[in-house]
Protein backbone atom coordinates (compact mmCIF):
# COMPACT_ATOMS: atom_id res chain seq x y z
CA UNK A 1 0.00 0.00 0.00
CA UNK A 2 2.81 2.39 0.83
CA UNK A 3 4.42 1.95 -2.58
CA UNK A 4 1.01 2.34 -4.19
CA UNK A 5 0.61 5.65 -2.35
CA UNK A 6 4.02 6.83 -3.52
CA UNK A 7 3.14 5.86 -7.10
CA UNK A 8 -0.16 7.75 -6.91
CA UNK A 9 1.53 10.88 -5.59
CA UNK A 10 4.24 10.85 -8.24
CA UNK A 11 1.54 10.86 -10.91
CA UNK A 12 -0.11 13.98 -9.53
CA UNK A 13 0.40 17.33 -11.17
CA UNK A 14 0.91 19.04 -7.83
CA UNK A 15 3.97 16.89 -7.10
CA UNK A 16 5.35 17.37 -10.61
CA UNK A 17 4.74 21.12 -10.25
CA UNK A 18 6.57 21.13 -6.91
CA UNK A 19 9.54 19.26 -8.41
CA UNK A 20 9.74 21.71 -11.32
CA UNK A 21 9.37 24.65 -8.93
CA UNK A 22 12.20 23.25 -6.80
CA UNK A 23 14.67 23.14 -9.67
CA UNK A 24 13.53 26.52 -11.02
CA UNK A 25 14.00 27.94 -7.53
CA UNK A 26 17.48 26.45 -7.28
CA UNK A 27 18.30 27.82 -10.73
CA UNK A 28 17.34 31.36 -9.73
CA UNK A 29 19.11 30.92 -6.42
CA UNK A 30 22.28 29.83 -8.20
CA UNK A 31 22.04 32.86 -10.46
CA UNK A 32 21.49 35.23 -7.53
CA UNK A 33 24.30 33.81 -5.40
CA UNK A 34 26.74 33.75 -8.31
CA UNK A 35 25.95 37.41 -9.01
CA UNK A 36 26.37 38.30 -5.34
CA UNK A 37 29.71 36.51 -5.23
CA UNK A 38 31.22 39.22 -7.42
CA UNK A 39 31.09 41.54 -4.40
CA UNK A 40 34.45 41.71 -2.71
CA UNK A 41 34.47 41.24 1.04
CA UNK A 42 37.28 42.92 2.87
CA UNK A 43 39.11 40.96 5.50
CA UNK A 44 39.41 43.56 8.19
CA UNK A 45 41.27 46.24 6.24
CA UNK A 46 38.35 48.61 5.68
CA UNK A 47 39.26 51.34 8.12
CA UNK A 48 36.51 53.66 6.90
CA UNK A 49 33.81 51.21 7.93
CA UNK A 50 34.97 48.88 10.73
CA UNK A 51 31.70 46.87 10.63
CA UNK A 52 32.00 46.12 6.91
CA UNK A 53 35.64 45.40 7.45
CA UNK A 54 34.73 42.45 9.64
CA UNK A 55 32.34 40.86 7.16
CA UNK A 56 33.41 37.87 5.14
CA UNK A 57 32.08 34.97 3.02
CA UNK A 58 30.37 33.35 6.02
CA UNK A 59 28.22 36.46 6.48
CA UNK A 60 27.29 36.44 2.79
CA UNK A 61 26.38 32.75 3.12
CA UNK A 62 24.25 33.55 6.16
CA UNK A 63 22.37 36.26 4.30
CA UNK A 64 21.79 33.99 1.31
CA UNK A 65 20.51 31.07 3.37
CA UNK A 66 18.11 33.06 5.55
CA UNK A 67 16.75 34.74 2.42
CA UNK A 68 16.12 31.43 0.65
CA UNK A 69 14.97 29.50 3.74
CA UNK A 70 11.49 31.01 4.20
CA UNK A 71 10.73 30.71 0.49
CA UNK A 72 11.79 27.07 0.45
CA UNK A 73 9.78 26.42 3.61
CA UNK A 74 6.66 27.93 2.07
CA UNK A 75 6.94 25.68 -0.97
CA UNK A 76 7.42 22.54 1.11
CA UNK A 77 4.70 23.42 3.62
CA UNK A 78 2.22 24.01 0.81
CA UNK A 79 3.15 20.70 -0.82
CA UNK A 80 2.75 18.53 2.26
CA UNK A 81 -0.52 20.24 3.21
CA UNK A 82 -2.06 19.76 -0.23
CA UNK A 83 -1.03 16.13 -0.73
CA UNK A 84 -1.46 15.21 2.94
CA UNK A 85 -5.04 16.46 2.99
CA UNK A 86 -6.05 14.34 0.01
CA UNK A 87 -4.42 10.96 0.56
CA UNK A 88 -6.81 9.29 3.02
CA UNK A 89 -9.97 11.18 1.91
CA UNK A 90 -9.42 10.18 -1.72
CA UNK A 91 -8.87 6.52 -0.84
CA UNK A 92 -12.11 6.64 1.14
CA UNK A 93 -14.12 8.81 -1.26
CA UNK A 94 -13.17 6.87 -4.38
CA UNK A 95 -14.13 3.56 -2.81
CA UNK A 96 -10.70 1.96 -2.64
CA UNK A 97 -10.52 1.78 1.15
CA UNK A 98 -12.87 -1.24 1.52
CA UNK A 99 -10.56 -3.16 -0.81
CA UNK A 100 -7.46 -2.34 1.25
CA UNK A 101 -9.26 -3.30 4.45
CA UNK A 102 -10.35 -6.61 2.94
CA UNK A 103 -6.71 -7.68 2.64
CA UNK A 104 -5.06 -9.59 5.53
CA UNK A 105 -3.68 -6.51 7.28
CA UNK A 106 -4.66 -4.43 10.27
CA UNK A 107 -6.36 -1.05 10.10
CA UNK A 108 -3.30 0.44 11.75
CA UNK A 109 -1.11 -0.74 8.88
CA UNK A 110 -3.59 0.53 6.30
CA UNK A 111 -3.75 3.90 8.07
CA UNK A 112 0.01 4.43 8.20
CA UNK A 113 0.78 2.85 4.83
CA UNK A 114 -1.68 5.17 3.13
CA UNK A 115 -0.93 8.38 5.02
CA UNK A 116 2.88 8.03 5.18
CA UNK A 117 3.46 8.59 1.45
CA UNK A 118 2.98 12.42 1.58
CA UNK A 119 5.58 12.73 4.35
CA UNK A 120 8.14 10.64 2.46
CA UNK A 121 7.65 12.56 -0.80
CA UNK A 122 7.80 15.94 0.94
CA UNK A 123 10.85 15.00 3.02
CA UNK A 124 12.69 13.76 -0.07
CA UNK A 125 11.97 16.99 -1.91
CA UNK A 126 12.98 19.04 1.13
CA UNK A 127 16.34 17.27 1.30
CA UNK A 128 16.92 18.02 -2.39
CA UNK A 129 15.90 21.66 -1.96
CA UNK A 130 17.91 22.47 1.15
CA UNK A 131 20.87 20.41 -0.02
CA UNK A 132 20.83 22.45 -3.20
CA UNK A 133 20.73 25.70 -1.22
CA UNK A 134 23.61 24.50 0.95
CA UNK A 135 25.82 23.31 -1.91
CA UNK A 136 25.24 26.35 -4.13
CA UNK A 137 25.96 28.69 -1.23
CA UNK A 138 29.08 26.82 -0.22
CA UNK A 139 30.50 26.89 -3.75
CA UNK A 140 30.52 30.69 -3.83
CA UNK A 141 30.82 31.48 -0.11
CA UNK A 142 32.79 28.75 1.70
CA UNK A 143 31.47 28.14 5.19
CA UNK A 144 30.93 25.41 7.75
CA UNK A 145 27.33 24.75 8.82
CA UNK A 146 26.59 24.43 12.49
CA UNK A 147 25.20 20.90 12.29
CA UNK A 148 23.94 18.89 9.30
CA UNK A 149 22.45 16.14 11.55
CA UNK A 150 20.40 18.82 13.33
CA UNK A 151 19.16 20.01 9.93
CA UNK A 152 17.93 16.56 8.92
CA UNK A 153 16.36 15.73 12.28
CA UNK A 154 14.67 19.12 12.56
CA UNK A 155 13.45 18.89 8.97
CA UNK A 156 11.71 15.61 9.67
CA UNK A 157 10.19 17.00 12.87
CA UNK A 158 8.99 20.15 11.11
CA UNK A 159 7.38 18.34 8.18
CA UNK A 160 6.11 15.59 10.46
CA UNK A 161 4.18 18.06 12.61
CA UNK A 162 2.51 19.63 9.57
CA UNK A 163 1.77 16.17 8.14
CA UNK A 164 0.29 14.87 11.40
CA UNK A 165 -1.92 17.94 11.65
CA UNK A 166 -3.32 17.82 8.13
CA UNK A 167 -3.73 14.02 8.24
CA UNK A 168 -5.82 14.26 11.39
CA UNK A 169 -7.86 17.22 10.18
CA UNK A 170 -8.57 15.57 6.82
CA UNK A 171 -10.49 12.85 8.67
CA UNK A 172 -12.72 15.17 10.67
CA UNK A 173 -13.39 18.10 8.31
CA UNK A 174 -13.61 18.64 4.56
CA UNK A 175 -10.43 18.55 2.48
CA UNK A 176 -10.35 22.29 1.77
CA UNK A 177 -11.07 23.11 5.41
CA UNK A 178 -8.22 20.89 6.60
CA UNK A 179 -5.83 22.67 4.23
CA UNK A 180 -6.96 26.14 5.27
CA UNK A 181 -6.77 25.37 8.98
CA UNK A 182 -3.28 23.90 8.68
CA UNK A 183 -2.08 26.79 6.50
CA UNK A 184 -3.41 29.23 9.08
CA UNK A 185 -1.77 27.42 11.98
CA UNK A 186 1.54 27.18 10.13
CA UNK A 187 1.47 30.88 9.25
CA UNK A 188 0.64 32.00 12.78
CA UNK A 189 3.27 29.66 14.25
CA UNK A 190 5.88 31.03 11.85
CA UNK A 191 5.05 34.63 12.74
CA UNK A 192 5.23 34.07 16.48
CA UNK A 193 8.28 31.86 16.04
CA UNK A 194 10.02 34.90 14.59
CA UNK A 195 8.78 37.04 17.45
CA UNK A 196 10.14 34.49 19.90
CA UNK A 197 13.56 34.70 18.26
CA UNK A 198 13.54 38.49 18.48
CA UNK A 199 12.62 38.29 22.16
CA UNK A 200 15.78 36.23 22.71
CA UNK A 201 17.73 39.41 21.91
CA UNK A 202 16.11 41.28 24.80
CA UNK A 203 15.46 38.74 27.56
CA UNK A 204 13.12 40.02 30.23
CA UNK A 205 12.12 43.13 28.27
CA UNK A 206 9.19 41.74 26.27
CA UNK A 207 5.65 42.32 27.63
CA UNK A 208 4.41 39.41 29.72
CA UNK A 209 1.27 39.09 27.60
CA UNK A 210 3.32 38.74 24.40
CA UNK A 211 5.57 36.14 26.00
CA UNK A 212 2.53 34.15 27.14
CA UNK A 213 0.81 34.28 23.75
CA UNK A 214 4.02 33.26 21.98
CA UNK A 215 4.58 30.27 24.25
CA UNK A 216 0.95 29.16 23.94
CA UNK A 217 1.12 29.23 20.15
CA UNK A 218 4.42 27.35 20.17
CA UNK A 219 2.70 24.78 22.38
CA UNK A 220 -0.43 24.51 20.21
CA UNK A 221 1.37 24.12 16.87
CA UNK A 222 5.09 23.30 17.31
CA UNK A 223 6.01 22.78 13.65
CA UNK A 224 7.90 26.09 13.58
CA UNK A 225 10.32 24.77 16.18
CA UNK A 226 11.48 22.19 13.66
CA UNK A 227 11.90 24.79 10.93
CA UNK A 228 13.98 26.99 13.23
CA UNK A 229 16.17 23.97 13.91
CA UNK A 230 16.72 23.51 10.17
CA UNK A 231 17.87 27.11 9.76
CA UNK A 232 19.97 27.05 12.92
CA UNK A 233 21.80 23.90 11.85
CA UNK A 234 22.36 25.08 8.29
CA UNK A 235 23.74 28.57 8.77
CA UNK A 236 27.46 29.32 9.30
CA UNK A 237 28.71 29.07 12.84
CA UNK A 238 31.36 31.75 12.31
CA UNK A 239 29.26 34.57 10.82
CA UNK A 240 29.74 38.01 12.36
CA UNK A 241 26.20 39.35 12.03
CA UNK A 242 23.43 37.27 13.57
CA UNK A 243 21.51 39.47 16.00
CA UNK A 244 19.87 41.68 13.37
CA UNK A 245 18.49 38.61 11.63
CA UNK A 246 16.54 37.33 14.62
CA UNK A 247 13.25 37.03 12.76
CA UNK A 248 14.73 34.19 10.68
CA UNK A 249 15.69 32.22 13.77
CA UNK A 250 19.44 32.56 13.91
CA UNK A 251 19.97 34.10 17.33
CA UNK A 252 19.61 31.02 19.50
CA UNK A 253 19.57 27.27 19.35
CA UNK A 254 16.25 25.46 19.50
CA UNK A 255 16.15 23.61 22.84
CA UNK A 256 16.02 19.82 22.39
CA UNK A 257 12.96 19.77 24.65
CA UNK A 258 11.06 21.81 22.04
CA UNK A 259 11.86 19.29 19.33
CA UNK A 260 11.00 16.35 21.57
CA UNK A 261 7.69 17.98 22.39
CA UNK A 262 6.97 18.46 18.67
CA UNK A 263 7.55 14.73 18.12
CA UNK A 264 5.22 13.78 20.98
CA UNK A 265 2.61 16.27 19.72
CA UNK A 266 2.74 14.72 16.26
CA UNK A 267 2.37 11.21 17.65
CA UNK A 268 -0.68 12.27 19.66
CA UNK A 269 -2.34 13.74 16.57
CA UNK A 270 -1.53 10.63 14.55
CA UNK A 271 -3.03 8.54 17.34
CA UNK A 272 -6.20 10.63 17.30
CA UNK A 273 -6.34 10.29 13.53
CA UNK A 274 -6.06 6.51 13.81
CA UNK A 275 -8.78 6.46 16.47
CA UNK A 276 -11.07 8.32 14.07
CA UNK A 277 -10.09 6.08 11.15
CA UNK A 278 -10.61 2.89 13.17
CA UNK A 279 -14.19 3.89 14.00
CA UNK A 280 -15.19 4.86 10.48
CA UNK A 281 -17.55 2.67 8.44
CA UNK A 282 -16.58 2.02 4.82
Number of domains forming the structure of the chain: 1
8 Å CB contact between 1 and 114: yes
Asked if 266 contacts 230 with a C-beta cutoff of 8 angstroms, the reply is no
Give me the domain span that covers residue 145.
Answer: 2-278
Residue 52 is predicted with a pLDDT of: 40
Q: How far apart are CA 34 and CA 111, in angstroms?
A: 46
134-139 own/partner pairs: CB under 8 Å, 24+ apart = 134/65, 134/234, 136/26, 136/29, 136/30, 136/33, 137/33, 137/61, 137/64, 137/65, 138/61
Residue 19 CB contacts under 8 Å (≥ 6 apart), including other chains: 125
Q: What is the pLDDT of residue 97?
A: 83
Q: How far apart are the first and last CA of the chain?
A: 17
CA pair distance 232, 252, nearest whole angstrom: 8
Determine the pLDDT at residue 46: 46
Alpha-carbon separation of residue 201 from 197, 246, 281 (angstroms): 7, 8, 53
Give the pLDDT confidence score for residue 44 in this predicted structure.
43
pTM of this structure = 0.87
What is residue 211's predicted lDDT score, i.e. its pLDDT? 84
Tens-digit pLDDT profile for the chain (282 aa)?
666 777 777 778 888 898 999 999 999 999 999 988 876 554 444 444 444 445 577 778 888 888 899 999 999 999 999 999 988 888 888 888 888 778 888 888 889 888 899 999 999 999 999 999 999 999 999 888 988 999 999 999 999 999 999 999 999 998 899 999 999 999 999 999 888 877 776 666 778 888 889 889 989 999 999 999 999 899 887 665 554 454 445 556 788 899 999 999 999 999 999 999 988 877
Q: What is the pLDDT of residue 29?
A: 95
Is residue 62 classed as helix, strand or coil in its secondary structure?
A: helix
Sign of the four-CA dihedral 13, 16, 20, 26: positive
Amino acid sequence: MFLNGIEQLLRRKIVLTAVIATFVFLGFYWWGVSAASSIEFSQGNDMADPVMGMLGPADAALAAIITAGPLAATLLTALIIVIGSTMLPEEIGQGRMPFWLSLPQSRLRVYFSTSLAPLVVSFTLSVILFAGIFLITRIYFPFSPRSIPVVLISMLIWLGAVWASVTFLSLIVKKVASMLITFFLAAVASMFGGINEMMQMFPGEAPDALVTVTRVIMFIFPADRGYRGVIYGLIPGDAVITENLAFFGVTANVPPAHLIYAVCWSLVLLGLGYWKFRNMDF
